[in-house]
Chain A
Amino acid sequence: MSESYPRSDSDVSTSGDEAEWLDTNNSDDEQEEAPAITSLVDNRVFPDAESMLAYCKTERGLDFLAVRDRLGLDFHGMVKLINFIRKSVHEGTALPAEISAADLEGDGLLKPVLDDDALILCLDDLPPPASTAVAGKEKAAAPASAAEAPQVDALLQKNAELQAEIEQLAKQFTSYRLAVQETLDQRWKADEEPDDVPSKNEPKKDDSAYYFESYAHNDIHEVMLKDAVRTDAYRDFIYGNKHLFAGKVVLDIGCGTGILSMFCAKAGAKTVIAVDKSDIIDKARENIFANGLSDTITCLKGRIEEVVLPVAKVDMIVSEWMGYALLYEAMLPSVLYARDRYLAPDGLLVPSHCNLWVAPVADAEYVADHIAFWRDVYGFDMQPMQRDIYADSRVQTMNPAALCGTPSAFRSLDLHTVAVGELVFSAKWESTLAADVSGALDGFLVWWDCFFAQSRDEPGITPSITAQEWSASGGRDAKEEDRVAFTTGPFGTETHWKQILFLIDNKKKAPKQLGEAEAGKKISGELEYITAEGHARGLKIKITWGLEEEGEKKDQVWALN
């Protein structure tokens, strides 16, 4: 609570500053001129109305003068307003959020709540309303005496400041109205589009609808924003490379709450175009407005393939498109579409490269917890539940100790050049089994690292480099933000992408028992990304594996869903 005002009697009796208090409030001369004014909201006492009203405004959010001006109250109106507030406080009822003229109806409120209410006695001394043309206020317009001149100057200056502020607000309001109008237009337009009208008779044909709906909720955005590995990387790259963004036109695909667009705007981008099909973009627009960046960032609702951009080319594409196992629920084809259509020839993609990793897993405890569990559920055998386990991959953060061999980089994507057709692929992998390997080979773990290059021909992002190695390879003079990259793997901080675990169905294929004989040996095979049939955003992964000396390789297919 503020200490800048003299306290009421009971408090002050224990205060060491009694002399000063006496001086302000008990000096006979002053008391006649400036009677003690009791606060509207509690029983504090003030030497004059202005300081009391300032207290009410700053400490309690009650702006008496603003209410007066809003309702255009005359002397009697102000008396009623004072008594209305005092009555509410006295009776302990909460004041309405916005006091209305209806609250002040009836002459009952003319009866003072406080006897000899000093505030009412000095109402005429209150500053005049902001609009000076109020009739019958000659008194306020009386010529100022010489002594008052500095005060008048200060008030005039304050007035000018406030008017400037009002103009600014009016301007902002206009642009906000435009933004709202734009949103509504888009909504109405969307409503008119026949394919957006749900039909009960027809089964849904669009796999993506649910994908977009799922992004309309807050919690998923909270999770993503609070994933500091992810959000810090974008921030560090954008803020650390302002020279790349200054004066540029940037496209943000799948903008969500607008965070990346706002980073770019802050970094000096001339124009940012933020595109998202999900309803969250309405919130993005509000966020952008609330941060005063509406002039720089334009939000477009719709698929990137369908919206009409206000520019022919963009200098950069920023997007956080990565999914589980990198490509599940893939937004990457949309980013590549935009790259081919809108990105200037020397334009930059942020991020720019991804490397995919796989490693063999042996984790008996995990298997017991999640697989063997089904064999004895409260005395029942639920073995049939186990079959699904092997058909689906699991989104799971694993301890590095669960890996029983070296990670293998099986695929590298340079986003500047990769084609959509290359996102389904088959790649070789190879791992060296650990020296202390033991137990069954239970499965495989897949994760990816993500790199933010400063130019299209950034050297050093090789297909098998890790995020950590690349960040550290910046040289002695390099600043940390020069080499932004992060990993979603088991050796880094956990991210919301976690890792993807593929469990081997060891009942179908007799488990390979690993022991001393296998330590240090090579295990290898292929890993295939396959588009799931009938589900545009789905993904299947096929892994083949075998020890080098084994002639025949084993294989299994998993779905991500």
Chain B
Amino acid sequence: MAAVEPMDIEVAEQRLKAMEHSEQHYFNSYNHHGIHEEMLKDEVRTRSYMNAIVQNKHLFKDKVVLDVGCGTAILSMFAVKAGAKHVIGVDMSTIIFKAREIVKVNGMEDKITLIQGKMEEIEIPFPKVDIIISEWMGYFLLYESMLDTVLYARDKFLAKDGLIFPDKATIFVAGIEDGDYKDEKIGFWDNVYGFNYSPLKETALSEPLVDTVEVKAVVTDPTAVLTLDLYTCTTADLAFSCPFDLIARRDDFIHALVAWFDIEFTACHKPVRFSTGPHTKYTHWKQTVFYLKDVLTVQQGEKVECSLHNRPNEKNKRDLDIKVQYRLDTQDPTRTAEGQCLYKMC
């Protein structure tokens, strides 16, 4: 087997060490094979990419493709299978040295060039690329996401009329009844082995919870709070504020908001899309739950006026500062509620 030059790995590790600590952690976390196993075994994710690429040979044939954050190079290899002339895979993590070996084992080393480095700092062997493929999504779509890198690559390398796979992402929000679990996660801190742990309760409330939510817990209609068109959006769009209304489907309580995202490959002959919501198959992104301070008591048809504000943290742009405001205005003053909660995904 073509062993990787130990020097390459050493140089890469030196570069990683010189980075900001949070960045280092981000890239290092992708060095472990466990995370790649989890992502590859996420069938919804991997199969959607495979279908979007392999079923669209007419789009990929003889094209130059850029794979942003290529990891184990699975998407690059799909692109070769779909007839791409050449694929350039870029990743900062040292997983790319494994990817080189994998590409070779699969006899695609002539078709795929893998480059270790930051997109912003590397040179690629083609002036422009025809297609960008990337699996850049993080929890809550944007947490620890690589979208800024994809947009950078789009602006610098994508040919006019080039394609982006995927090209559309939408974040949805709904209200959920989650009394038992809220008690387990938040109420837990009220009594820890007989002690009052309320100082940790504040922190627990401010940390959105990545977990799966059962569809029967969803009390309101879902509402889209952000739609990104990857051909036109900019990094400025990642800081957004969106007012929205949640309409109760039934008489119930709302303990939290749940957020998820849908992904679309609209360029495909037969559009490919997948959702990470509670109504469909499990993905490793699960859903993101934001517990509210209040419990809202809603009746069918009632409206909760909400707004969601999201912006990347100033110190670490991969962290998110999120604010949720809510207001339930009813004829019954005892159920009227209004408040705001601040969250930090870090």
Contacts and interface: CB of A to CB of B under 8 A. Distances in A.
A287 B21 contact: no
Contacts of B36: 385
B192 A92 contact: no
A203 B19 CA distance: 8
A217, A266, A379: which has the most chain B beta carbons within 10 Å? A379
A377 B50 CA distance: 11
B189 to A, nearest CB: 8
Contacts of B81: 379
A392 B185 CA distance: 33
A235 B193 contact: yes
B87 to A, nearest CB: 13
A139 interface: no
Contacts of A210: 21, 25
A380 B77 contact: yes
A388 B339 CA distance: 49
Given A42-B334, A200-B20, A210-B25, A381 B203 contact: no
Interface in A423-458: none
A210 B98 CA distance: 26
B119 interface: no
B74 interface: yes
B1 A259 contact: no
B6 interface: no
Contacts of A263: 193
Nearest to A209: B21
Given A203-B17, A231-B193, A384 B98 contact: yes
A382 B199 contact: no
Interface string B37-53: 10011000011001000
A94 B339 CA distance: 9
A378 B74 CA distance: 9
Contacts of A291: 195-196
Contacts of B232: none
Interface in A200-229: 200, 203-204, 209-210, 217-219, 221-222, 225-226
Contacts of A379: 81
B76 to A, nearest CB: 10
Given A218-B207, A235-B193, A381 B336 contact: no
Contacts of B197: 257, 287, 290
A495 B185 CA distance: 19
Given A259-B192, A385-B102, A290 B336 contact: no
Interface string B96-107: 001001100110
A237 to B, nearest CB: 13
A89 interface: yes
A378 B78 CA distance: 9
A41 interface: yes
Nearest to B197: A287
Contacts, number: 110
Interface in B54-80: 72, 74, 77-78
A463 B172 CA distance: 57
A263 B1 CA distance: 57
B236 interface: no
Contacts of A257: 192, 197, 200
A379 B333 CA distance: 61
Contacts of B198: 290
Given A92-B329, A384-B105, A218 B18 contact: no
A377 to B, nearest CB: 6
Main secondary structure of the interface of A (DSSP, over half): helix
Contacts of B334: 41-42
B248 to A, nearest CB: 17
A90 B331 CA distance: 9
Given A92-B329, A204-B21, A385-B33, A218 B74 contact: no
Contact of A385 (B20, B98, B193): B98
B204 A218 contact: yes
Contacts of A93: 336, 338
B300 interface: no
Contacts of B337: 94
Interface residues of A, number: 46
B157 interface: no
A287 B199 CA distance: 6
A177 interface: no
A384 B101 contact: yes
A172 to B, nearest CB: 13
B17, B18, B194, B333: which has the most chain A beta carbons within 10 Å? B333
A479 interface: no
A262 interface: yes
Nearest to A214: B25
Nearest to B334: A42
A344 to B, nearest CB: 28
A5 interface: no
Contacts of B41: 373
A217 to B, nearest CB: 8
B300 to A, nearest CB: 19
A226 B184 CA distance: 10
A445 B32 CA distance: 20
Contacts of B98: 384-385, 388
B207 A219 contact: yes
A310 B78 CA distance: 65
Contacts of A553: none
Contacts of A204: 17, 21, 24
B195 A287 contact: yes
Given A89-B333, A218-B203, A290 B196 contact: yes
Given A235-B193, A388-B33, A388-B98, A41 B72 contact: no
A92 B336 contact: yes
A514 interface: no
Contacts of A231: 193
B330 interface: yes
A272 B201 CA distance: 24
A383 B203 contact: no
Contact of A382 (B21, B72, B195): B72
B200 A221 contact: yes
A216 B37 CA distance: 28
Contacts of A41: 333-334
A222 B17 CA distance: 30
Contacts of A262: 195
B298 to A, nearest CB: 15
A370 interface: yes
Contacts of A218: 200, 203-204, 207
B199 A222 contact: no
Nearest to A97: B339
A283 B203 contact: yes
A287 B200 contact: yes
Q: Which 10 A-B pairs have the closest CB atoms?
A: A286-B199, A384-B101, A203-B17, A94-B338, A290-B196, A388-B33, A218-B203, A381-B105, A384-B98, A92-B336
Interface of A: 41-42, 89-90, 92-94, 198, 200, 203-204, 209-210, 217-219, 221-222, 225-226, 231, 235, 257, 259, 262-263, 266, 283, 286-287, 290-291, 370, 373, 377-385, 388-389, 392
8 contacts: A92-B333, A203-B17, A210-B21, A219-B207, A290-B197, A380-B102, A382-B72, A392-B32
Interface of B: 1, 14, 17-18, 20-21, 24-25, 32-33, 36-37, 40-41, 46-47, 50, 72, 74, 77-78, 81, 98, 101-102, 105-106, 185, 188, 192-200, 203-204, 207, 329-331, 333-334, 336-339
Given A218-B203, A291-B195, 12 more contacts: A41-B334, A92-B330, A92-B331, A93-B338, A198-B21, A203-B14, A290-B196, A290-B199, A373-B37, A379-B81, A380-B106, A384-B98
